C-alpha cells in the first residue's frame, strides 16, 4: 500500500460539501467512487478539512492509501478522466508514510469575494456574493484586522457534529485583511484552522458593520472568551474559496 497525496480544485456549487453524505453528491464521494474503480476495492479519502455545501477550493489537500502500482502521474490523469468536470486533480505524489492532511496542516488561507458592481455577469454568479448596495467599505477595511491573533471564535462558529464537551474554539489568525480590488471587495484570512461557517460568519459581521448595523465594540464583544452572542449572519457559500493549505 502506498500513501498518496493529491491537490484538488473544485467548483462546489453543485455539491453538498466535501464530506460523504448518504444520497447526496459530495466531493469526497466522487473522488472515492473514482478511486474505487481504479483500485477495485473501496478507498477512503481524508482531506485537510471539510468545506461546506457551495464552497469552492483552488487547492484542497487530500490523501489515501492505494495498492494499485499505477505511477502517480498516470493516476492523476486517470482520475481526471473519470471525475466530473467540476472536480480536477491538480497534482498527485507519494506522501510521507505518516502524512495526515488535517493534523499535519500548519495554516490555511481562505478568500471571500464580494461583487460591488450594479450588475453581476452570469459567468460570475456562482463565484461571488453580489452586494451592490451601500456599504461603508472604509470602516470594514479598518476593522477586519481585529480578527488577527488568538481568539475564542465561539460567536463565529456554527454547531458541528465533531464538537465535544470542552473542545476549544480558540484559533490563531495570522492575517485578516479586506481590500477593494476593481469592482470587488476581497477578504483574505490565514490561520491555524477554522471552525464550521467561521469565515462566512466573519464576513457576515463585517457586512453588518458596513451597513451601519454593528460597530467596533460589537465585533470586539464577539471575540471575547465564551461569548454568548449567537453566530451570524452567515454570508452565502458561493463567495468562499479555500486558497491554500500549508504544511
223-247 residues labelled b (16+ CB within 10 A) or e (exposed) = beeebeeebeebbbbbbbbbebbee
Helix (H) or strand (E) holding 91: strand 87-94
86 is catalytic: no
Residue among 52, 91, 161, 163 flagged as catalytic: 52
CA–CA distance, 35 with 38 (Å, rounded to integer)? 5
For residue 52, give the C-alpha cell: 461546506
- Residue 108: beta bridge partners? 191, 245
Residue labelled with grid coordinates 460523504: 20
Using CA atoms, how far apart are residues 83 and 37, in angstroms rounded to an integer? 11
Q: Which residues are catalytic?
A: 52
Amino acid at each position: 500500500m502506498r500513501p498518496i497525496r493529491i491537490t484538488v480544485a473544485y467548483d462546489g456549487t453543485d455539491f453538498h460539501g466535501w464530506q460523504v453524505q448518504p444520497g447526496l453528491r459530495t466531493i469526497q464521494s466522487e473522488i472515492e467512487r473514482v478511486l474505487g474503480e481504479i483500485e477495485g476495492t473501496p478507498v477512503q479519502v481524508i482531506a485537510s478539512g471539510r468545506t461546506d455545501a457551495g464552497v469552492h477550493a483552488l487547492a484542497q489537500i487530500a490523501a489515501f492509501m492505494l495498492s494499485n502500482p499505477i505511477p502517480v502521474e498516470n493516476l492523476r490523469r486517470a482520475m481526471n478522466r473519470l471525475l466530473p468536470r467540476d472536480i480536477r486533480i491538480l497534482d498527485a505524489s507519494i506522501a510521507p508514510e505518516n502524512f495526515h492532511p488535517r493534523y499535519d496542516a500548519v495554516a490555511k488561507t481562505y478568500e471571500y469575494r464580494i461583487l460591488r458592481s450594479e450588475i453581476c455577469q452570469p459567468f460570475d454568479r456562482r463565484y461571488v456574493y453580489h452586494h451592490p448596495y451601500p456599504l461603508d467599505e472604509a470602516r470594514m477595511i479598518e476593522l477586519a484586522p481585529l480578527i488577527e491573533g488568538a481568539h475564542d471564535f465561539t460567536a463565529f462558529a456554527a454547531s458541528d457534529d465533531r464538537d465535544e464537551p470542552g473542545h476549544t474554539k480558540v484559533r490563531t489568525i495570522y492575517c485578516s485583511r479586506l481590500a477593494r480590488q476593481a469592482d470587488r471587495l476581497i477578504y483574505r484570512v490565514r490561520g491555524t484552522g477554522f471552525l464550521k461557517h467561521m469565515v462566512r460568519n466573519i464576513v457576515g459581521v463585517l457586512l453588518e458593520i458596513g451597513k451601519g448595523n454593528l460597530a467596533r465594540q460589537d465585533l470586539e464583544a464577539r471575540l471575547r472568551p465564551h461569548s454568548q452572542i449567537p453566530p451570524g449572519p452567515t454570508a452565502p457559500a458561493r463567495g468562499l474559496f479555500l486558497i491554500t493549505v500549508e504544511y
